[in-house]
Structure formats: structure tokens, C-alpha cells
């Protein structure tokens, strides 16, 4: 029998470390640890699940080597700068290795990418160069000579504790703007002593750290995560990396883990969904050629075909899976058995980044179990019971699948002719096509399930009562927010999302008579870009200042969206406008108390949505368990809808089984 993806599942030797395959779990902050920086049971379960999924090497998230000034997170960050933390790491290592993977720990010092509110003092850096980022604004102080030696010793001490904890390898975090990269960067390191200035002196600190750590590893592998380009004017380039990486390897590094960026350019660290798969591979190939050592490369490789080809072509030796393993911990096993279509796809929506950025535990928009691996299994508590789900958007489809998993006889109702709901609305605008991956995944799962589908059905209270369900999940979504508007004439008017779904035919437009979109949120701006791509001329009229366009969109995606909108000659913005009336072939806008006439070929409304509670209100007091989820509760994102579905199923398990915790 031929193995699916033979290059991916070929063993590899990295220095003294032998891996069962070429798949590596990338280090990603989980915010699941204890407040004191020690390992928690939740963290152990989180990593164990991904090791069980078949990954060859699990790299544990950035771990602080120096509690004095090395922290880089407002939420609990792991640390290994003291003997007291070794026990927790030992348990974590046992869980990872017991599940079949090798265990590596990433050691980190934040330097200027720390916060005074976290460390209680001014952050340190090679030089006192301010950091001006949307995520952090700080002015560090320059490290003294003796402090540099102390930090080098801290890295070595942490490496010794890692060995004592049982780790198979250590990775140094020399990417993403942390201290090792700060010393290398000509933008940040402006010292005039032996630790900075020219290339050789900027390289000294990373080389000293590598040598000190290697000396404590006792024959274990040393990996180095490196931003091979920071994409800043005057900053580090891939040409610099081609000079730096061989020197690191000469000093003791066994493999280079390819990454990019810093806090100044987070969009090249955790790329938005518009970035194509495998975009870092050309850089990885260059570093591989420059060093002759194995390289590990991430960079939005979401599917086994892409990863297999990257290794077969010699671009990289291993593929690092980050967000992809949040979405589906079983990615490697599914790939190995040739079932790539069953992989729950990461769409680069960055819901995970939003969660950790808000100092919550890691989560995934598509995998509600992510970060909750200690939750009890759903179980077959629904056997002999009937469940009805109203609405087949992402939350409704997820709820139907989990209820089917729980043993219910499930009926899923959708008023449109197809499943998908707002997932289709979200996936249709330019550069968001990856969301179709998730829609296709859910529909494939539903086709294989026992869920009974009813499309093109308007569900009312009478229909629900006639079905007599044991459980009802309302995922019927939202409706347009009320809008007081004078209307006359026959100018076409419709919700903007109908244009995205293809439910309406728009007339021709021109510069003089454009399509007017009222509302500058995410839907309004995305619809404008969608229509412009079709050849329309568009005006966005928004009540807010233009700086608030798409204000609730994922930040990195929003940054690129606004750049595209601003550069698109087919789209004009009229901010601080209120739509007052639609009259014949034009609309009336109010601007600073004055009336403005704007000709229009059609009007698309994107002024906002509100939860549709009509059906829930009509069914209040019914004798079956009813739970509303997603936009039927509060208009939010795909992740909230899927999370609500997961919580609803667990709530139904408790509600229907009524477990009694005490007998006294």
C-alpha cells in the first residue's frame, strides 16, 4: 500500500534528534498557564491532544528565561528560570512524549517587547530605541554590559532546566522582534561597544547565547527560530539572514525555523487570510542552501498537498503547523491516512489571535474544543431524543453536527435554498475565499452525518411545536437594524448582504450614478470592494469618520482591506453622512446639518444588524429545551457562533441528564 504524502511522513534527523515525520507544531502562546508562569493541567491537555494527532515534534510556546525583565505577555506566560517550574514542565514533557511526539521548548526574552505594567520596570533593549506599534508603544532603556552577561547566563540556566525536565530539544526565539532579533537589527541595535554597531558586533549576542545554551544541552538538539526578514525599511533582509544563519549553525544550531516580522509588522507573523499558502518557502529555500542544515518553515501551509510539494521540491525539510493545528489537532493523522478532505481547515481568520490578544485562553473559530481540552466528551446523551436546529449558518451547522454526534435525531432547517448562511456572505468578498474551505468542510461532514436537511423552509412557532422536539437550537441569525427613511420612486434598495449572496441583480452604474452603500462597517466596505471588482462604481456613505471604516474587522485583515479600498479608484468614501431619504434617481444625505443630493443606480443597506429574536419570543414558555446561539443572541463573528453551538450542546447535556453531583 502506497503511503499518502511519503515526503511528509519520512523520518528526519536534526542533529542528535530523530523525528518520526516532517511535521512540527509551531510555538504559539496559549495563555493557558497558571498566573505564576507554571504549567497548568489545561496546558498539558492542549499539547497532548496535538501530540496525539500525529505531529513529529511539539514546540512548547515561548517560555521566559528571566523573570526580571524578560516577560512578553500581559497574560500568564510560561517561565523556566527557576527550579520550582521544572516539575510542571516534566509533566508536560511526559504528556507530549507519551502521546508519541518529541518535545521541544522555546526559550525567550522579550527585551523591548515587554510592558512596564508586566515587569514593573522599564523594558530593556540593546539601545533605547522607541517601539511604536499598534500593539505596544514604549521607550526601553539600553542594557548595561553586566546585564547582557546575566541574560546570556539566564538562557543557559533555562536550557539546563529544560534538559532536567526531559525535553528532547531547545529552540531559541530569535524571531518576531524579541531580544535576540533586537541585537541583530540595525534599526534597534545602535550600540557603539562590543555588542553592536557593525554586522559582526550585532551578531555577538546571538552567538554567545547559542554557545552558552549548546553547552548545557548534553547532546540534545538546538533549534533557532529566526525572522529572516522584518519587512521594515532599513531593517533585516533575507540577504542578511543568508549571512547570519550559517554563523548560528557554526556556533551550534542544528536547524533554522523560518519566520518573519516583529511587533512593527505583525501582519507577516500571523498573516491575514489574503496571504497565499507557502509564501515563505522561497526564503526557506535560500536559508537551507546557505546553511546546509535542516530548515523548518511555516507560512500558511494549510493542506498536505502544499506541504508535501514543499519538501519534495527541496524548499524546506520540515513544515511547521501553527494555526492549522488549533483548527484540527488530527491534521497529521488525517493526512497520513489520505483523508485530507476531512481536515478542519484553518482559514487564517485570526480569531485565535484576537482571543490571546484579549488575554483570554487560546481558541479557534472553527474548533470550539481548542483551549478546552479538559472538557468532558459530548457523549451519546441524545439517544432516543429529537433535536431541531433553525438556521444553517456556521453556528447552526456546527450545532446540528454536534447534536448528531450526541445521538439525537436532528432536523436542520434553513430558509434559503442552500446551507451556509452568513458564512457564505463572509467568504464571498475578495481575498476571503479561504472561508469557503470551512463551509465546504461543514457540508461534507453534514453529508456523512445523520442530520436531516430542510432548505427553503420558513420556520415559525407553529411548525416547531408540531415537530415536538426535545431540544431546539435557534441559529436563525440577525435582521437589518431599524432605519427611518423616506422613500419614493423606484430606485432599487436591498440589504448589502443580498448583493454578496447573489440574491439581487444590480443595474449598471457609473461615476455619475454609482451604487450607494450606506454603512462603512465590514459588510459595507467588503461589498464595495466586491462590486468594484465586478466593474461597478461605488460610493460608501458612512455616519462615522472615515478612520472608523470596518472598525470591527480583524485588525490585520482590516489594515490590508483599508489599503485596498483607499487605492481603488472605483470606490469613493463619503463620511459623516446620514441617509435621510431615497427620492427617484438619487438619495439625500445629511452632512453637518446640510442636505446633499447624491445620484445613485441602487442603494445597498449595510447600516447594521440586530439579533432576530422573533421566533425565540414566540416560543417562550414552551416545554422543550430552547437555546439561542450566534447572531440570534448577539451579532458577532463566526467564532462566537461556533463556540455558542459547542456550549449549547454541553448545556443540553447537563439540562437533559440533570446529573446530581451529591447524594446527600
In DSSP notation, 113-156 reads GS-HHHHSS--EESS---EE-SS-EE--EEPPHHHHHHHHHHHH
Residue 506 grid cell: 444590480
Distance CA 108, CA 111 (A): 9
Residue 664 has pLDDT above 90, yes or no: no
- Please give the average per-residue pLDDT across 140-169, as a whole number: 98
Distance CA 173, CA 104 (A): 12
Which is higher by pLDDT, 659 or 557? 557
Residue 361 has pLDDT above 80, yes or no: yes
- Please give the average per-residue pLDDT across 256-265, as a whole number: 94
Residue 148 has pLDDT above 70, yes or no: yes
Residue 198 has pLDDT above 90, yes or no: yes
Least confident of 264-273, 288-297, 571-580: 264-273
- Please give the average per-residue pLDDT across 544-565, as a whole number: 94
Instruction: Tell me the pairing of strands 609-611 and 625-628.
Output: unpaired
Residue 1 has pLDDT above 60, yes or no: no
Distance CA 410, CA 389 (A): 7
DSSP letter (8 states) at residue 299? S
- Please give the average per-residue pLDDT across 386-397, as a whole number: 97
First vs last C-alpha separation in the chain: 59
437's CB contacts (< 8 A; 6+ apart) are 302, 345, 347
Residue 438 grid cell: 470551512
174 phi and psi, to 5 degrees?
A: -105, 25
Distance CA 398, CA 366 (A): 9
Residue 309 has pLDDT above 90, yes or no: yes
* Among the listed residues 191, 146, 157, 152, the one whose alpha carbon sits nearest the alpha carbon of residue 85: 157
- Please give the average per-residue pLDDT across 500-525, as a whole number: 96
Cβ atoms 435, 394 nearer than 8 A: no
Residue 491 has pLDDT above 90, yes or no: yes
Distance CA 212, CA 158 (A): 11
User: What confidence score (pLDDT) does residue 2 get?
Assistant: 66
For the stretch 238-252, pLDDT in tens is 999 999 999 999 999
Taken in order of first residue, the domains within the chain and their CATH numbers are 12-358 (3.20.20.70), 386-480+611-657 (3.40.50.720), 487-607 (3.50.50.60)
Q: Quick one: pLDDT band at residue 13, thresholds 50, 70, 90? A: very high
Distance CA 272, CA 586 (A): 37
- Please give the average per-residue pLDDT across 215-237, as a whole number: 96
Measured in whole angstroms, the distance separating CA 642 from the mean position of its chain's CA atoms is 15
Q: Tell me the pTM.
A: 0.95
Residue 278 grid cell: 507557502
Residue 659 has pLDDT above 70, yes or no: no
- Please give the average per-residue pLDDT across 639-660, as a whole number: 89
Indicate the angle between helix axes 199-214 and 238-251, nearest 10 degrees: 40
Q: Quick one: pLDDT band at residue 490, thresholds 50, 70, 90? A: confident
Cβ atoms 33, 362 nearer than 8 A: no
Cβ atoms 325, 52 nearer than 8 A: no
Residue 5 grid cell: 504524502
Q: Quick one: pLDDT band at residue 299, thresholds 50, 70, 90? A: confident
Measured in whole angstroms, the distance separating CA 442 from the mean position of its chain's CA atoms is 19
Residue 352 has pLDDT above 60, yes or no: yes
For the stretch 444-467, pLDDT in tens is 999 999 999 999 999 999 999 999
Distance CA 181, CA 184 (A): 5
Residue 414: in which H helix or E strand, if any? strand 409-414
Residue 199 grid cell: 554586522
Q: Show which residues are catalytic.
A: 178
Distance CA 600, CA 539 (A): 9
Which is higher by pLDDT, 300 or 75? 300
Instruction: Tell me the pairing of strands 471-474 and 538-541.
Output: unpaired
Q: Quick one: pLDDT band at residue 657, thresholds 50, 70, 90? A: confident
* Among the listed residues 348, 400, 384, 345, the one whose alpha carbon sits nearest the alpha carbon of residue 646: 400
Residue 93 has pLDDT above 80, yes or no: yes
Residue 167 has pLDDT above 60, yes or no: yes
Residue 348 grid cell: 487564517
User: What confidence score (pLDDT) does residue 584 get?
Assistant: 85
Which is higher by pLDDT, 126 or 357? 126
Amino acid at each position: 500500500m502506497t503511503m499518502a504524502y511519503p515526503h511528509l511522513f519520512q523520518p528526519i534527523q536534526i542533529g542528535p534528534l530523530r523525528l518520526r515525520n516532517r511535521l512540527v507544531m509551531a510555538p504559539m502562546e496559549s495563555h493557558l498557564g497558571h498566573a505564576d508562569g507554571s504549567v497548568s493541567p489545561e496546558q498539558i491537555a492542549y499539547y497532548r491532544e496535538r501530540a496525539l494527532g500525529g505531529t513529529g515534534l511539539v514546540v512548547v510556546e515561548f517560555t521566559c528565561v528571566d523573570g526580571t525583565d524578560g516577560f512578553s505577555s500581559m497574560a500568564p506566560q510560561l517561565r523556566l528560570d527557576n527550579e520550582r517550574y521544572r516539575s510542571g514542565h516534566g509533566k508536560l514533557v511526559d504528556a507530549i512524549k507519551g502521546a508519541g511526539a518529541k518535545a521541544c521548548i522555546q526559550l525567550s526574552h522579550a527585551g523591548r517587547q515587554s510592558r512596564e505594567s508586566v515587569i514593573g520596570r522599564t523594558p530593556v533593549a540593546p539601545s533605547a530605541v522607541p517601539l511604536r506599534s499598534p500593539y505596544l508603544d514604549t521607550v526601553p532603556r539600553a542594557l548595561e554590559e553586566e546585564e547582557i552577561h546575566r541574560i546570556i547566563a539566564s538562557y543557559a540556566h533555562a536550557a539546563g532546566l529544560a534538559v532536567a525536565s526531559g525535553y528532547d530539544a531547545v529552540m531559541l526565539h530569535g524571531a518576531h522582534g524579541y531580544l535576540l532579533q533586537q541585537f541583530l537589527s540595525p534599526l534597534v541595535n545602535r550600540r557603539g561597544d562590543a555588542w553592536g554597531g557593525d554586522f559582526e558586533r550585532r551578531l555577538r549576542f546571538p552567538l554567545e547565547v547559542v554557545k552558552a545554551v549548546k553547552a548545557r544541552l548534553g547532546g540534545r538538539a538546538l533549534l533557532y527560530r529566526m525572522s529572516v526578514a522584518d519587512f521594515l525599511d532599513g531593517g533585516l533582509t533575507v540577504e542578511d539572514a543568508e549571512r547570519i544563519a550559517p554563523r548560528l549553525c557554526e556556533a551550534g544550531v542544528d536547524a533554522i525555523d523560518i519566520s518573519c516580522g516583529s511587533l512593527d509588522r505583525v501582519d507577516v507573523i500571523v498573516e491575514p487570510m489574503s496571504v497565499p499558502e507557502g509564501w515563505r518557502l522561497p526564503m526557506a529555500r535560500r536559508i537551507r542552501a546557505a546553511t546546509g542544515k535542516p530548515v523548518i518553515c511555516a507560512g500558511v501551509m494549510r493542506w498536505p498537498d502544499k506541504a508535501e510539494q514543499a519538501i519534495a521540491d527541496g524548499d524546506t525539510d520540515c513544515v511547521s503547523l501553527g494555526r492549522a493545528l488549533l483548527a484540527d489537532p488530527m491534521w497529521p493523522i488525517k493526512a497520513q491516512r489520505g483523508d485530507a478532505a476531512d481536515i478542519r481547515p484553518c482559514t487564517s481568520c485570526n480569531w485565535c489571535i484576537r482571543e490571546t490578544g484579549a488575554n483570554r485562553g487560546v481558541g479557534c473559530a472553527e474548533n470550539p474544543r481548542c483551549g478546552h481540552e479538559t472538557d468532558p466528551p459530548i457523549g451519546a446523551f441524545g439517544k432516543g431524543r429529537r433535536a431541531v436546529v433553525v438556521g444553517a449558518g456556521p453556528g447552526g451547522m456546527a450545532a446540528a453536527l454536534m447534536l448528531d454526534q450526541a445521538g439525537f435525531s436532528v432536523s436542520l432547517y434553513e430558509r434559503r435554498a442552500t446551507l451556509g448562511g452568513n458564512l457564505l456572505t463572509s467568504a464571498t468578498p475578495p481575498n476571503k475565499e479561504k472561508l469557503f474551505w470551512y463551509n465546504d468542510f461543514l457540508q461534507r461532514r453534514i453529508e456523512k452525518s445523520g442530520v436531516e436537511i430542510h432548505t427553503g423552509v420558513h420556520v415559525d412557532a407553529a411548525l416547531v411545536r408540531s415537530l415536538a422536539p426535545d431540544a431546539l437550537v435557534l441559529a436563525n441569525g440577525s435582521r437589518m437594524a431599524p432605519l427611518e427613511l423616506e422613500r419614493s420612486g423606484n430606485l432599487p434598495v436591498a440589504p448589502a448582504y443580498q448583493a454578496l449572496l447573489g440574491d439581487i441583480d444590480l443595474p449598471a452604474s457609473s461615476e455619475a450614478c454609482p451604487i450607494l452603500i450606506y454603512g462603512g462597517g465590514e459588510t459595507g466596505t467588503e461589498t464595495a470592494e466586491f462590486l468594484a471588482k465586478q466593474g461597478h462604481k461605488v460610493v460608501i456613505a458612512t455616519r462615522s469618520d472615515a478612520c472608523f471604516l470596518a472598525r470591527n474587522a480583524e485588525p490585520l485583515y482590516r489594515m490590508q482591506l483599508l489599503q485596498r479600498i483607499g487605492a481603488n479608484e472605483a470606490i469613493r468614501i463619503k463620511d459623516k453622512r446620514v441617509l435621510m431619504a431615497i427620492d427617484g434617481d438619487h438619495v439625500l444625505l445629511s452632512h453637518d446639518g446640510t442636505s446633499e443630493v447624491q445620484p445613485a443606480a441602487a442603494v445597498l443597506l449595510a447600516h447594521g444588524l440586530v439579533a432576530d429574536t422573533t421566533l425565540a419570543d414566540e416560543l417562550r414558555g414552551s416545554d422543550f429545551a430552547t437555546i439561542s446561539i450566534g447572531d440570534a443572541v448577539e451579532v458577532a463573528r463566526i467564532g462566537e457562533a461556533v463556540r455558542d453551538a459547542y456550549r449549547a450542546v454541553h448545556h443540553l447535556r447537563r439540562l437533559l441528564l440533570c446529573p446530581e453531583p451529591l447524594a446527600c
